[in-house]
Structure 1
Amino acid sequence: MSVERGLAANTLLSYRRDLRRYADFLTARGVTEPRQVVPEDVTAFLLCLREGDDEHRPLGSSSVARTVVAVRGFHKFTHREGLTPDDPARDVRPPALPRRLPKALPVADVERILEAAGTGGTPLALRDRALLELLYGTGARISEAVGLDVDDIDLDAGTVLLRGKGGKERVVPVGSYACEAVAAYQVRARPALASAGRGTPALFLNARGGRLSRQSAWTVLRNAAERAQVRAEVSPHTLRHSFATHLLDGGADVRVVQELLGHASVTTTQVYTLVTVDKLREVYAATHPRARA
């Protein structure tokens, strides 16, 4: 998973935790070797995940699905490497997940959040404004934004190099508002923040001069939303969802949005088209004289 597929550290930690629980479950059933596992063991583990036990509470569908993926991957690997005669998890399927539409903010709410982030003009405020402008202006994940180094963004060309899931890189255009905010941060704020640290190529720095963490970036967004008095639920992916939805509302092709977001499959991106269709339906129902009985 790490070397061949290049999965993120957090994903590897989750898989490791899932497989450790699976190993404990098998041991309690008297199974101590991978070749001893039978399909009934895997099915029983899936049931245990759903119902919980004395040490674990029942898991939600998404957590169960991730754990089943880890178990299936483990058994597929041991079979491929010749460690087991067959794959006992081959026919076990993860639970179907409900299709949840991403929640995008209205453009006015996004603008209020961005304005609130720069309140005060302090080095941290300039950083916060630059961070959120870049997130909304490029559709970057928070992890991609905080992982940026200074050399990854070219303000003259108006582009940024983002490193997504699996180490995949993509070059994304940066709008004028984000370019201006990042330039102001680099000139008027980053040197002051960097002086408190030991020197790092990271673009976005914390108050101690080190690289800004994902958790801190999420706090920046949450605090800005509170100051802007935006009542809607705001999550780390809110600006990314809003970026995609607003592009599609403006007439962008779904495959262009796919490239900008770094989705491996257009199917992942197409969920945003459902959001825009819902919006069209609402407008139609509210305005057309023959839309409602």
Structure 2
Amino acid sequence: MSLEELPAALASAARGFGQYLAAERGRSAHTVRAYLSDVGSLLAHAASEGIENPSELELGTLRRWLGAQSESGMSRATLARRSATARAFTAWAVREDIIAADPALRLRAPKPEKSLPGVLHQRQVVRLVEGAGAAAAEGAPLDLRNKAMVELLYATGVRVGELAGMDIDDLDPDRRTLRVLGKGNKERTVPYGLPAALAVDDWLRRGRPALSTGTSGPALFLGARGSRVDQRQIRSVVRRMLEALGDTAATGPHALRHSAATHLLDGGADLRAVQEILGHSSLATTQLYTHVSVERLRQGYRQAHPRA
């Protein structure tokens, strides 16, 4: 059921929540859509129970909504996310005097199972960038771009959306740092190494001028028609490169972010420094990568120790 099909008061509350997320919380359009999808699901369930106004929402309504989704086979992680969205929505509605008492205060959802993110071994990263370099040796603009994107993704651990949104002026070639606009419009500065610097410089000198048009603007990376590269294009490029390795289950640009973080910690980097580089608001998120490193240590021990 779309927002337009909901009772007027429910639809109005959902739209107000979306405006709050965008204007006051600085959430991206993508994030707002995800929140509204969850809220829309909740309100559609409420409407099916005869509720026409947010003030009629009760704890039982929320529990039955989550229960129905659990019975449909929804994962624990998704249930936990939707529960958090419901709590955010009702808390906002209370502040806006749309609801008198928050029905989600005692709402509980199963904790998501923590899974270790897939990471590449360092030798796989070497093969990945060597493959990109071999393709770029021919000098085709898109191959030069792809090599620069992969080098920069691994060197900095930036998110794919952050890479797509970068402008040329975000680079500081002298200091080899990159200005990144992350989630919630938070800005951070991230260093990158010489291989990434060389790949980006090659792209800017030989690749980008061949694709640039009068409407390219300041975008760092361009598509085949000269417009700013989008996230879908980046994901497609990285997915093909990872599939070409043939010996990893890692998929997409986020695997390079996971790998960068894990390799930094394996090399002795401070946890808080990695948190700053990745742009995590919570140290607990960064700590997931310490579990990855410990697991890799255990694997190495089991393989190498005669009495493991």
Give the alignment's TM-score, normalised by structure 2: 0.88
- C-alpha distance in structure 1 between counterparts of 2:152 and 2:159, whole Å: 10
* Corresponding position of 2:210: 192
SS at match of 2:22: coil
- C-alpha distance in structure 2 between counterparts of 1:125 and 1:281, whole Å: 38
Task: State the Cα distance separating 1:38 from its structure 2 match.
Answer: 1.3
Q: 1:188 to 1:92 in 2, by over 3 A?
A: same
* Corresponding position of 2:287: 270
Task: State the Cα distance separating 1:230 from its structure 2 match.
Answer: 4.1
Task: State the Cα distance separating 1:175 from its structure 2 match.
Answer: 0.6
Residues 116 and 225 in structure 1, CA contact (< 8 A), matched pair in contact too = no
* Corresponding position of 1:202: 219
Supply the AA of the counterpart residue of 2:29. A
Aligned residue runs from structure 1 range 1-293, under 5 A: 1-52=21-72, 58-118=73-133, 119=135, 120-195=138-213, 198-291=215-308
Supply the AA of the counterpart residue of 1:24. A
1:251-272 Cα shifts (integer Å, max 9, x gaps) = 1111111111111111111111
- C-alpha distance in structure 1 between counterparts of 2:306 and 2:130, whole Å: 39
Supply the AA of the counterpart residue of 2:147. R
Residues 145 and 221 in structure 2, CA contact (< 8 A), matched pair in contact too = yes
- C-alpha distance in structure 2 between counterparts of 1:4 and 1:221, whole Å: 34
- C-alpha distance in structure 2 between counterparts of 1:229 and 1:290, whole Å: 32
Residues 242 and 252 in structure 2, CA contact (< 8 A), matched pair in contact too = no
Residues 141 and 206 in structure 2, CA contact (< 8 A), matched pair in contact too = yes
Task: State the Cα distance separating 1:23 from its structure 2 match.
Answer: 1.6
* Corresponding position of 1:55: none
- C-alpha distance in structure 1 between counterparts of 2:299 and 2:175, whole Å: 39
SS at match of 1:237: helix
SS at match of 1:93: coil
Supply the AA of the counterpart residue of 2:275. Q
C-alpha RMSD of the superposition:
1.5
Supply the AA of the counterpart residue of 1:90. L
Identity of aligned residues (%): 42
Residues 119 and 250 in structure 2, CA contact (< 8 A), matched pair in contact too = no
Normalized per residue, the structure richer in helix is: 2
SS at match of 1:162: strand
Task: State the Cα distance separating 1:92 from its structure 2 match.
Answer: 0.6
- C-alpha distance in structure 2 between counterparts of 1:111 and 1:288, whole Å: 26
Residues 114 and 224 in structure 1, CA contact (< 8 A), matched pair in contact too = no
Task: State the Cα distance separating 1:10 from its structure 2 match.
Answer: 1.2
Task: State the Cα distance separating 1:274 from its structure 2 match.
Answer: 1.1
1:26-73 Cα shifts (integer Å, max 9, x gaps) = 111111111111111111111112123xxxxx4222222222222111
